[in-house]
Structures are given as C-alpha cells and as structure tokens.
Amino acid sequence: MIRPATPDDIPAIIHMIRELATYEKALDKVETTEEQLHEALFGPSPAVFCHIATDDDNGVAGFALWFVTYSTWLGRHGIHLEDLFVHPGHRGAGHGKQLLIELARICVERGYGRFEWSVLDWNTPSIEFYRSLGAEPLDEWDMYRLTGSALEKLAATESPR
C-alpha cells in the first residue's frame, strides 16, 4: 500500500535517509534532523512531500520524498523526486514501482508536465529499474550545486550596479 507520510513516520523516514546515504557512500553528509524533516513536511507551509510504502503488516517498507517544480518551457509544474528508498529486505516486491506509479498519477491528475529525478551514474540496479519503466537519462544536462562556503561566498557577493 502507498500512502502519504504522517508525523508518526518521521523516525522511519530519517532512518531510511541514513540507509540511503550509507548505500550512496555519503552518510557523513546527512545533517537532517527529525525536527527539520517534521517542519518541512508538516509545518505551516510545506514545500516537500513524502509517500510511504507499507508491507502486509503495515510496516514501513520504503519512501519517496518529492517536491513541486516548474518548467518555463512547458508552462506547467512537475515533480522532482529527491529520494526513493526501499529497505533491502522489501526489494523485489514492487514497493519502489508502486511509489513511482503514485507520483506519476499525481503528475497526471494535477496536469504536471514532468516527473524527474537524479541517479548516481554507478547505481546500475536503479538505472536498469528506471529504464525498464521508460525513463530516459538527460545526457546533455549536467547538474551543478552550490553548498556550504561556496554558497555563502556567492550570497555575500555585492551585486554590481
């Protein structure tokens, strides 16, 4: 079953974020606290959303955390999937596919034009899974990111007049 996350799911989501980061060899990069995630998902102006996959016993099997984007070319919103994770013991049972189906349905129901995400280039099992669903890589695009001191330095730069 796929359902929207509730505040009671926060500890399980944090645990899965850490499991995902461990798999991606980046656990030391995770700074998110339960309080931050609760505020992002359930605060007065949530801009991030989460769906939970449950197993037959209603235990949490996986999650998809996403946010709304906008395409100036399409003139419509879309969904960016930030994280998708299914516990290793639950893989192969269709939970990941069901989470993606639910987000695709949200896109179609709301008239959104895109459903996008990133995947590490070495994550062959995920790449094969996404391609099996019809997803295509955007080979002509490179992602850039500003964080930490580089972000602060740019923000502190005085604008030319």
Q: Out of 27-31, 76-80, 102-106, 143-147, which region has the weakest mean confidence (pLDDT)?
A: 143-147
For residue 58, the model assigns a pLDDT of 78
Burial of 67 (0-12, 13-18, 19+ CB in 10 A): middle
Strands 76-86 and 114-117, sheet pairing: parallel
What is the pTM assigned to this prediction?
A: 0.92
Instruction: Give yes or no for residue 100 having a pLDDT over 90.
Output: yes
Instruction: Give yes or no for residue 161 having a pLDDT over 80.
Output: no
For residue range 11-69, list pLDDT tens digits in order. Answer: 999 999 999 999 999 999 999 999 999 999 999 999 999 999 999 887 999 999 999 99
Contact 117, 81 (CB under 8 A): yes
Instruction: Give yes or no for residue 111 having a pLDDT over 80.
Output: yes
For residue 159, the model assigns a pLDDT of 83
Question: In what order do the strands lie in the sheet containing 60-71?
Answer: 2-4, 49-54, 60-71, 76-86, 114-117
For residue 8, the model assigns a pLDDT of 97
For residue range 114-160, list pLDDT tens digits in order. Answer: 999 999 999 999 999 999 999 999 989 888 989 999 999 999 999 87
User: Which residue among the candidates 23, 70, 112, 130 is catalytic per the annotation?
Assistant: 130
* Fold annotation for 2-156: Aminopeptidase (3.40.630)
Per-residue pLDDT band for 73 (boundaries 50, 70, 90) equals very high
Helix axes 34-42, 10-23, angle to 10 degrees: 110
Domain boundaries, the chain: 2-156
For residue 142, the model assigns a pLDDT of 87
Judge whether 130 counts as a catalytic residue.
yes
